[in-house]
Amino acid sequence: MELAIRLGVDRLLGTTVDQPVGPEDGFQFNGWLNQVRGALEDDRASAVVFWPPQTSRRRIYVHLFDASQKPIGFAKISFGDEDDRLLMREADILVQQTEAGVRSFRVPRVLAVGETDAGHQWLVTAPLPERTRPIGRHYNAYPDQIVAALSGEHRLVPHTEMTALSWWPEDLVTNGPEVTEFGHELEALVANEGVKVCRVHGDFGLQNMVIDRGGTRWVFDWEQSRPDGPVMADQVSFFLALDPARTSADPLSALRRFHEQFLKKASPQRRCQIMMALAFRHATGALDAGLFINNWAKQGR
């Protein structure tokens, strides 16, 4: 719980409550907690409820403790169809990564999944090890070993199959003149270069990593992971996550810094890969990608 607060991923809204979600949601918290107690085989488990900062996400977070107040689980509870899909995707990826036994990083273990009375999904994962800590914001070296381990083999998708990608945002060439310019350039590059894809984390950055006492890095929040993401998606995500506030405050200056980092003197193939990474972030709802795409025509001015 302390780690969640320090990371800024949750916000405590109040003290312990019996019914943290309104009855209009069809959710009975005490009934859910009893369900989880059975799944964890701990009938004395207690809970502390958090809301995410983005209230529009339609979910709550719950930290679970045993009778001695030792953390025994972390739960995400969905209240929407799209959020259901995100949680189930994360559960599947966590199981896959755990079974793969990758050594360069670890992921939280899935303890239980289930469905609420309202027909939505919940996921409980094991707590992170004690004394894990955030990786300092001053640390900006890209952890390429982690990404290489999670991404697996790369494959080339021809331009004729681009729109069949699981995440492809169809609005790139339809929403306004600036977006159209980005979309047209990307389509032209893809027609010549194809699309290189692999498994991606989807929201890769220091905000979703911690390090334990033994030096092992733990990677969490796999909801946006895809098996067919652009090969540069996680590297671009990592760079943009280093200073998101700066991007929001002055997107055009941020786009110029991004251009200097990734696109200056880039080959057509690399430019295609970087633009595909932005298209992916746009599709998953990242605000920075939308700001870049909308200002794409202005970057050289």
The residue type found at 79 is: F
Strands (E), the chain: 46-50, 59-65, 71-78, 110-115, 121-125, 133-134, 155-157, 195-200, 209-211, 217-219, 226-230
User: Cβ contacts of residue 257 below 8 Å, gap of 6+?
Assistant: none
Which domains are present in the chain?
Answer: 2-127 (3.30.200.20), 134-298 (3.90.1200)
> What is the crossing angle of helices 268-283 and 176-193, to 10°?
130
User: Cβ contacts of residue 138 below 8 Å, gap of 6+?
Assistant: none
Sequential pLDDT tens for the chain (301 residues): 444 433 444 333 344 444 445 555 678 888 999 999 999 999 999 999 887 766 667 789 999 999 999 999 999 999 889 999 999 999 999 999 999 888 899 999 999 999 998 899 999 999 998 888 888 655 667 888 899 999 999 999 998 998 899 998 876 655 555 567 888 899 899 998 889 999 999 999 999 999 998 889 999 999 999 999 999 999 999 999 988 888 889 999 999 999 999 999 999 999 999 999 999 999 999 999 999 998 898 875 4
Whose CA is closest to 59, among 90, 27, 92?
A: 27
CA distance 123 to 287: 26
CA angle, 23 as apex, 22 and 25 as ends, to 5°? 80
**What is the pTM assigned to this prediction?**
0.86
* Amino acid 78: pLDDT: 93
Helix/strand/coil for 130: coil
CA distance 122 to 21: 14
Helix/strand/coil for 105: coil
CA distance 86 to 113: 13
User: Cβ contacts of residue 163 below 8 Å, gap of 6+?
Assistant: 170
